[in-house]
Amino acid sequence: MQKILITGGAGFVGHHIIQTFLRDTEYKIVVLDRLDTSGNLNRLREVLDEDPSWESRLEFIWHDLKASINEIVAKQIGNVEYIFHLAAGSHVERSIDYPMEFVMDNVVGTTNLLDYARTYASDTLKMFLYFSTDEVFGSAPIGTNYKEWDRYNSGNPYSASKAGAEEMCLAYFNTYKVPVVITHTMNVFGIRQHPEKYIPLVIKKVRDGESVTIHSNAEKTKAGSRFYINTEDVASAMKFMISNYTTGEKYNIVGEKEVDNLQLARIIADIIGKELKYEMLDFHSSRPGHDMRYSLCGEKMKSMGWTPQKKLEERLEEVISWTLGNADRWLI
């Protein structure tokens, strides 16, 4: 039975990928996580509730990647064919206040995992997939959709640390032949997301009749926009990647369509059936480091045969229904 090592597997995106691979494949999965504010074992417990037999194929190891993976931890992990590296500091606001934390988590942490890959896993490893972000390219002017190898233009310490980690991955590919693959994805949403994130926050505020803050331009006439993508689609892309990749390459995983944050809030309010109360706020001028628009080109993955499985509105209906039905646990 082949094995995947998933770092950050108790996190929001990671646990959805685990669920998809447990449900749709026979892979064994080892989770490496330090269980900080992002990691939550309750997510994995709920995944296993779907099918308790999956527990025999899932192993959890506590480790903080700021420390190297020594021989003892490597022995616990065992032989792996695939590494999905999702563990990362990802809170933009915190990176602005504490940039060195993000250098340690994202650059040093990634380098420690790359060292593990070349030292302990080189005989069996087929893929080291680094899960990066659209933010490494910076704000996208209207009409611009960044391709995989476009230049970096990091707008904050978080995105700079992710770009730095990408370059370390490519260095290990070129120097040590670690079979690196890099993906960029955009704003991910889904069930069991932290309630501070935009979509669950809007769901809660609309439900409770509270005003939603919409980040906008300085004139407060236009909201920031994104290509939001559901975790189920991200997980399907990762499963697709297992059989469709070239080492040393990069791939953009892009949502179905672009939507600005005011449009998105209105869609959510319509689905819930309540009035949207909102305020436009020029957050970007007062707090540098946040970008108005991110955009990636998804043509490469589309030409290979992968696109999102459902429309944005359908995904939102699923997430809203589940979130409101499980609000006691996931919408506090």
Task: Quote the tokens at residue 326.
Answer: 């499980």
**In the chain, what are the helix, strand and coil shares in percent, each to the nearest 5?**
45, 15, 35
Catalytic residue among 82, 120, 158, 251: 158
Is the CB of residue 235 less than 8 Å from the CB of residue 17? yes
Task: Quote the tokens at residue 43.
Answer: 């997510």
Which residues, 6 or more positions from 253, have their beta carbon under 8 angstroms from its beta carbon? 183, 184, 185, 186, 229, 233, 234, 237, 298, 301
> Of 253, 254, 127, 106, which Cα lies nearest the Cα of 178?
127
C-alpha to C-alpha distance for 229 and 312, rounded to whole angstroms: 8
- Paired strand residues for 225: 260, 293
Q: Please identify which residue in the block is written with the tokens 């025999």.
A: 56
Instruction: Report the interhelical angle of 12-24 vs 231-243 (nearest 10°).
Output: 60
Task: Quote the tokens at residue 200.
Answer: 């669950």
> Of 159, 92, 130, which Cα lies nearest the Cα of 8?
130
Kindly provide the residue ranges of all beta strands, DSSP E only, lying in 116-211, ordered along the sequence. 127-133, 180-185, 188-189
C-alpha to C-alpha distance for 154 and 136, rounded to whole angstroms: 5
Q: Which SS3 state, helix, strand or coil, does residue 18 take?
A: helix
> Of 87, 174, 162, 71, which Cα lies nearest the Cα of 121?
71
Backbone φ and ψ of 55, nearest 5° = -60, -30
Q: Is 176 a catalytic residue?
A: no
> Of 201, 13, 4, 169, which Cα lies nearest the Cα of 90?
13
Could you list the active site residues? 158
